[in-house]
Amino acid sequence: MTIRPTQSALPRAKIQLLDWLKASGSWEAMLLSDELLDARTFRELADRAHGIVRRLQEVNEWRVAGAFWEAAKDIMARWRELASAARGPSPPGTRGGPQAG
């Protein structure tokens, strides 16, 4: 069984997001952090991170919510880029590759 680059990048992104939430010092953020654990794709991780931001805003944790969203976008973008680079170029005619024809 081979491990795809995104399989190792996704858990690392989750760990960084969890570490950020822990370092924020916000009790509410820590309570919500478990929601990140079940994400299976970067898209799902982004959706869950955004859900945490919305719930932090609901309890008036505006500073933490805004800072977390900015950090989450950076963390996920960096790990997605690393995973894409490790996969290499897409074959012609597929998403991300040169178009055939």
Q: What pLDDT score was predicted for residue 7?
A: 61
Per residue in 14-39, pLDDT tens?
A: 999 999 999 999 999 999 999 999 99
Tell me the residue range of the domain where 48 lies.
5-85
Q: What pLDDT score was predicted for residue 90?
A: 58
Instruction: Please indicate, yes or no, if residue 74 is contained in any of the structural domains.
Output: yes
SS3 of 23-45: the string is HCCCHHHHHHHHHHCCCCCHHHH
Query: CA–CA distance from 83 to each of 15, 36, 51, 58, 79 (Å)?
Result: 16, 19, 24, 34, 6
Instruction: Please indicate, yes or no, if residue 97 is contained in any of the structural domains.
Output: no
Residue 3 confidence (pLDDT) above 70? no
Q: What pLDDT score was predicted for residue 64?
A: 95
What's the one-letter identity of residue 32?
L
Instruction: Please indicate, yes or no, if residue 54 is contained in any of the structural domains.
Output: yes
Query: CA–CA distance from 42 to each of 14, 60, 66, 80 (Å)?
Result: 9, 27, 20, 7
Number of structural domains in the chain:
1
Residue 99 confidence (pLDDT) above 50? no
**Which of 22-31, 43-52, 63-72, 78-87 bottoms out in mean pLDDT, i.e. has the lowest?**
78-87
